Structure 1
Amino acid sequence: MKKQLLLIIALCGILVGFEQDTKPNVLIIGDSISIGYTPYVKTALKDRANVFHNEGNAQHTGTGLEKLEEWLGDTQWNVIHFNWGLWDLCYRHPDSKEVGNRDKIKGTVTFTPEEYAANLEKLVVRLKKTGAQLIFATISYVPKGEVGRFVESDKIYNEVAIEVMVKHGIPVNSLNRISKKIHQKHTAGPGNVHYTKEGYRLLSVPVVEQIENSLDTI
């Protein structure tokens, strides 16, 4: 009787594991903003999908081109929610004492809008080969007083990014518009592109919605 009970428990464990393995796989690629909202996305979708974030910070599109194969790995991804931009439009100078050597006065921009668009084109072509449902999130809000980023630069870079997405038929998560409203009450500090915990929770809402819409089509 005891052996039969142990066998039943073991079989239940195998079945539970099998059920977990059959859930769709979702990959979130992005910068520190995405790192902030990903835990809330995981919690919201825990019964629907296995949600992962790329290892570390995706930084700018140059880093994406260098590490995308590593991030994709051998996993069969069903949905990929991705963004780059905040690092691309950032100005840096080696002598700056600011975090990340940010300096929009003496520094050099990481990638121009044209370079950013060209890099995105290459990244999108590779991402489409995965066969996953793709979602692009626009660059989050750049506030006044940011030492390495110009106000309205997010708008310029988002415009060229959306052109790439329209060309490839990729849905766009308008996170810039949403983040601007959230930033007013939930900024991590003056001139800071980051958010409080509540801010990240609120940012996760449209991300979850977009991913669920994609999961519904699978």
Structure 2
Amino acid sequence: MKRMFCAILIVSSIVAASQDKLANVLIIGDSISIGYTPHVRQLLQGKANVIHNEGNAGPTSKGLEEIEKWLGDKKLDLIHFNWGLHDLCYRNPESNRLNKRDKKHGTITNSLEQYEKNLEILVDRLKKTGAKLIWASTTVVPEGEPGRIAGDEVKYNKLAKKVIRKHGIPINDLYAMTKIFPEQLFNAPGNVHLTKKGYQILARQTALHIDYQLELQK
């Protein structure tokens, strides 16, 4: 019994040591990233410890409030991040729709001007971690989405790309990928969320970007 206990301790120590040697990867993003993160974690098993920020990252304004908590005190080797889908969302406090989304009578969460200012601050903060950064473009907004205007994501992505390129950060273009997705990969017409297969496709592209950047750092 004592030998078995010692063996378990040795194996546990080896596993812990092995985990400590893996790269620490933080994914910051909205519900789309929450959907693909488990698949990314599986694809990078044995290569990286993949974690996601607590909950939904929401708009850049929430990012400014929560970023220190998400970063924590652990050394991060790579941060894959995105904001945008919630910045361009219209909300109405009196709406009965889910999360008060209402593009007809609501107010946009963050204008393009405010989005740019917030994103600049967030990028500067992320750069101070010393981690390699990867930006993910905002996924497509389909026609009929209750709180978002299809095409606004193009404007926000264009502005984000200007900020991101200025800082020399590589881009994982999830917009281009979801733009060509067939309807079957979305949960429902007018829904920004994807099916399991849709998230798996985004995960494969995201894992490739992360793995490539981690290899460059070796």
Shift of 1:95: 1.3
Shift of 1:9: 4.6
1:217 — aligned with what? 216
2:129 — aligned with what? 130
Checking the alignment, whether the CA contact within 8 Å between 1:28 and 1:82 is kept in structure 2 is yes
Letter in 2 for 1:74: D
Checking the alignment, whether the CA contact within 8 Å between 1:139 and 1:175 is kept in structure 2 is yes
Shift of 1:183: 5.0
Shift of 1:16: 2.2
SS in 2 for 1:25: strand
Checking the alignment, whether the CA contact within 8 Å between 1:61 and 1:88 is kept in structure 2 is yes
Q: Name the count of aligned residue pairs.
A: 217
Counterparts of 1:64-213 in structure 2, within 5 Å, are 64-182=63-181, 184-213=183-212
Checking the alignment, whether the CA contact within 8 Å between 2:32 and 2:193 is kept in structure 1 is yes
Checking the alignment, whether the CA contact within 8 Å between 2:40 and 2:207 is kept in structure 1 is yes
Percentage identity across aligned positions?
Answer: 49
1:18 maps onto 2:17 in alignment: yes
Q: Structure 1, residues 111-162: CA drift from partner, whole Å, max 9, x if none? A: 0111111100000000000010100000000000011111110000000000
1:55 maps onto 2:36 in alignment: no
SS in 2 for 1:192: coil
Checking the alignment, whether the CA contact within 8 Å between 2:76 and 2:131 is kept in structure 1 is yes
Structure 1 runs (4+) deviating above 2 angstroms are 2-13, 182-185
Checking the alignment, whether the CA contact within 8 Å between 1:26 and 1:79 is kept in structure 2 is yes
Letter in 2 for 1:127: L
SS in 2 for 1:216: helix
Letter in 2 for 1:69: E
Unaligned runs of 5+ in 1: none
Checking the alignment, whether the CA contact within 8 Å between 2:35 and 2:199 is kept in structure 1 is yes
Letter in 1 for 2:129: T
1:32 — aligned with what? 31
Q: Structure 1, residues 77-109: CA drift from partner, whole Å, max 9, x if none? A: 101000010100001111111111111111110
Query: In the aligned structure 1, how far is the partner of 2:30 from the partner of 2:123?
Result: 17
CA 1:124–1:3: 2 relative to 1, 3 Å: same
Letter in 2 for 1:44: L
Query: In the aligned structure 1, how far is the partner of 2:19 from the partner of 2:75?
Result: 14
Letter in 2 for 1:203: L
Query: In the aligned structure 1, how far is the partner of 2:3 from the partner of 2:111?
Result: 67
Query: In the aligned structure 2, how far is the partner of 1:93 from the partner of 1:60?
Result: 16
CA 1:150–1:3: 2 relative to 1, 3 Å: closer
Checking the alignment, whether the CA contact within 8 Å between 1:182 and 1:203 is kept in structure 2 is no
Unaligned runs of 5+ in 2: none
Letter in 1 for 2:88: L
Checking the alignment, whether the CA contact within 8 Å between 2:80 and 2:134 is kept in structure 1 is yes
Query: In the aligned structure 2, how far is the partner of 1:159 from the partner of 1:38?
Result: 25
CA RMSD of aligned residues (A): 1.4
Letter in 2 for 1:50: N
Shift of 1:203: 1.2
Shift of 1:185: 2.5
Checking the alignment, whether the CA contact within 8 Å between 1:182 and 1:202 is kept in structure 2 is no
